[in-house]
Amino acid sequence: MKEFLKMQARNFLLCCFFIAIDMGIVGLVLSPDAKFGYEVLFVPPIYAFLCMLPSFFMYSKKELSPKRAVIGRILQIITIEAIVLGIIISQQPNTSRFDILIIGASILVVFGAVWLVNFLRARSDAKELNEKLKKMSG
């Protein structure tokens, strides 16, 4: 559980970062003249928290096989898309299909970016360990 919480905390911070970047880019493309108040600063942590929720519901003490873990990830992204788009549509029923598509795609990009950071970290660990194993055997 401790490792799981550490991982979620790291993913939360990564999500905050990527959501802020994503909001900036999508905002510049869709409505470059829009002006916001300070409350917009709370949007990345709120959405990052919402993105973390499915992981807690899907947490299992059992060791998942890589295949089942990937299935879990797919279910997670589907749930995140449903939560975030559900909130946006319920708050702004007039949101156009194009905007929904862009937001949906940007959720995928944020999810992918968080996964990529974690994957690169694991790859770097694997590389470091492989170098040490080579030294040990040779």
Partner 1 sequence: MRVDVKNVPSAEDERVVLECVELTEDFRDIREYALMKGNMLTGYIDDAAFQLGLPDVIYFEAVGELVFAYTENEVYEIKSRLYEIEQNYSEQMFMRCSKSIIANISKIESFRPAPDTRLIAKMKNGEEIVISRMYAKSLKQRILEG
Chain residues that interact with partner 1, rule: CB under 8 A: 2-4, 7, 63-66, 69-70, 72-73, 115, 118-119, 121-123, 125-126, 128-130, 132-133, 136
The crossing angle, in degrees rounded to 10, of helices 2-30 and 97-137 is: 140
- Closest approach, Cβ 82 to partner 1, in A, equals 21
Q: What size, in residues, is the chain?
A: 138
- Position of tokens 């795609």? 105
- Closest approach, Cβ 137 to partner 1, in A, equals 9
Residue number, 82 or 121, with CB nearest to partner 1: 121
Residue number, 41 or 133, with CB nearest to partner 1: 133
- Closest approach, Cβ 44 to partner 1, in A, equals 22
Residue number, 56 or 119, with CB nearest to partner 1: 119
Give the closest residue to 14 by CA, choosing from 49, 63, 55: 49
Residue number, 12 or 115, with CB nearest to partner 1: 115
State the alpha helices, DSSP H only, in the chain: 2-30, 43-57, 66-91, 97-137
Q: Which two tokens stand for residue 110?
A: 């944020």
d(CA 75, CA 83): 12
